[in-house]
Amino acid sequence: MSLHGQQFKTYQKEGTILIKTSSDSVLKHLKNEYKKTLRQKDTSQIIKNLISLSAFERIHLNYSSAFNNSGKALFLAEEFNDSLLIAKAQEELGVLTYLFKQDDEAGSNFKKAHLYYKALYKNKKIQLSDLYQSHYNLVLYYQRIVDKKSLKAHIDSCYTIANKGKHKLIYQVYLNEKKSSLKEWENKPQEALKLLNDSATTLENLDNQFEVTNIHKSFLIIIYGRIGNIYMNFGRLDLAKNYFNKSINIEDINSEHTFYKSFIHARYATLLFNEGDYENAYLNQQKSNTINNTYLNLRNDKNRGFLTIKNHYKDELDKKNVLLNKQNFDLNERNQKILRFRIFFFIAFFLFIITALIVRSKIKFLKYQKKEQNSKELLDIKNSELTISTLQLIEKEEVIKSLSDHIKKYNADNGSKLLLKSIENRSVSLWDAFNNRFISQNDGFYERLKEKVPNLSSADLKICALIKLNFSGKEMAYLLGISLGSVHVARHRLRKKIGLERDINLTNYINSI
């Protein structure tokens, strides 16, 4: 794949140089502005001047200085933490690495810049044209590495932005050249030729009176070169020679196509050599070698530093990392001491808390045990009182019943009947009185019992309550108004419902609830 770049930002982009300023005085002006902003300690303007200096040196093929200035700009922009300046510095460094076919670095720089530009555009901090340029930079990168899918996506983005911003149709010239690559990769050289010829016709017909027109016409170096290369692949050598000649004779206004000219000279030399024109083949190969040796030969002391991308940015980062590593080592030492103390403190504190919790839990448990014991003793006392009170009531009821039976037998007049009726009304609620007191003293007993044995009837519950208070069978029979035999049957039925084994005492089981 050929080396070439086109339509990158120039040193005039940052606004520190007027468009009409002569090239001879630009460098002096930029350096003076840089020194001035250094004295003023205006970091933002320092970074802008460094980016402009890098672009100027790039255009004038002073790549070592360009790399150094762009590296400084990026380092300062990151220290200054300005998103726009970081994006611009990444972009400029991306252009330089792209020109020198440092594809991984170029892709990384362009992608980082693009992320910043997208965020800045979303927040209305940049113009639509800046976003377009960022997409176009990625178009160049993906064309270089032959990533068809990504190239098409960013070409489409460029068209969308251009149509939205109502750009001049000149942008189609550049995008058609990129689309022609897609056609070549799809093995459609005729469609690629049509796109390239359309772009060539548009550029050839531009009005020559404007400086920007000449810059656009420099792109014919790429267009003619690619047309010549396709014709050479077709075997149409006369047409190929014609377009190669046209390509190398176009003036490269911003020196963006230096390395592509080297590629064209090499291809032209191959064509001429195959035709037997050894002299011109040699001359073109020499021109190609001269460009490569001047800018790409690592044995050249001037190139050794920046061709390996050992720029100021990486140097400063390395220095900063060494300093940070030393600071981190010292900090880690201090942190280790603090950490050891904290660990010891937390262990001691943890042990203290655990001990305190154990002691507190033990005290609470003892209090709970004592409270439970007191509650049980109190409940036993109250239940004992309830039993005694109930038994006394039973005795009274038995006396009243005997008197009632005697009156019915020996004195059945009206006065006696009224007395008997009054006695019956007062004696009817003996069980209810007992049950109300039992429930108030044994809160939740019935509920817990039903939870364990859900199928108990109300009669079963009454038997259980009386068993809990240690009533005898005879006392139960009287209180419930049933025979002693019925009480025994009820107890036997209760054991079966509960499912008690023979060796388990019914009274103990009920008292455990």
Mean pLDDT of 300-326: 60
* Contact between residue 218 and residue 191 where contact means Cβ atoms under 8 Å apart: no
Mean pLDDT of 98-113: 91
Q: Is the CATH number 1.25.40.10 carried by domain 1-167?
A: yes
* Contact between residue 383 and residue 468 where contact means Cβ atoms under 8 Å apart: yes
Structure tokens belonging to residue 291 = 């460009």
* Contact between residue 441 and residue 386 where contact means Cβ atoms under 8 Å apart: yes
Residue 395 has pLDDT above 90, yes or no: no
Side chain identity at residue 359, one-letter code: V
| Per-residue pLDDT tens digits for 291-302 | 888 876 655 555
Long-range contacts of 116-125 (CB under 8 A, 24+ apart): 116/83, 116/84, 116/86, 116/87, 116/90, 117/87, 119/83, 120/83, 120/84, 120/87, 125/83, 125/84
What distance in Å separates the CA atoms of residue 59 and residue 259, rounded to the nearest whole number? 13
| Per-residue pLDDT tens digits for 452-497 | 888 888 888 888 988 988 888 888 887 777 888 999 999 999 999 9
Count each helix (H run) and each strand (E run) in the chain, helices first: 23, 0
Mean pLDDT of 387-399: 67
Helix (H, G, I), strand (E, B) or coil at 78: helix
Cα dihedral value 108, 110, 115, 118, nearest 10: -170
**Sequence ranges of the domains in the chain:** 1-167, 186-305, 444-513
Residues 6+ apart with CB under 8 A from 34: 46, 49, 50, 53
Residue 80 has pLDDT above 50, yes or no: yes
CATH class belonging to 186-305: mainly alpha
Cα dihedral value 401, 403, 405, 410, nearest 10: -170
Q: What is the CA radius of gyration of the chain?
A: 52
For helices 43-59 and 23-40, what crossing angle results, to 10°?
160
User: Quick count: other Cβ atoms within 10 Å of Cβ 12?
Assistant: 16
Nearest partner of 49 among 164, 40, 316, 487, judged by Cα = 40
CA 1, 70, 250, 291 torsion-angle sign: negative
DSSP 121: H
CATH code matching the domain that covers 444-513, chosen among 1.10.10.10, 3.40.50.300, 3.40.50.920, 3.40.605.10: 1.10.10.10
- The CA distances from residue 404 to 79, 401, 426, in Å, are 111, 5, 13
Nearest partner of 455 among 498, 393, 414, judged by Cα = 498
What distance in Å separates the CA atoms of residue 109 and residue 313, rounded to the nearest whole number? 12
- Equal CATH topology for 1-167 and 186-305: yes
pLDDT computed for residue 270 by the predictor: 94
DSSP 418: H
Nearest partner of 7 among 152, 191, 158, judged by Cα = 158
The more confident residue out of 408 and 216 is 216
Residue owning tokens 């300023």: 21
| Per-residue pLDDT tens digits for 164-223 | 866 567 888 999 999 999 999 999 999 999 999 999 999 998 876 555 677 888 999 999
DSSP 342: H
The more confident residue out of 409 and 439 is 439
Mean pLDDT of 116-138: 94
pLDDT computed for residue 2 by the predictor: 36
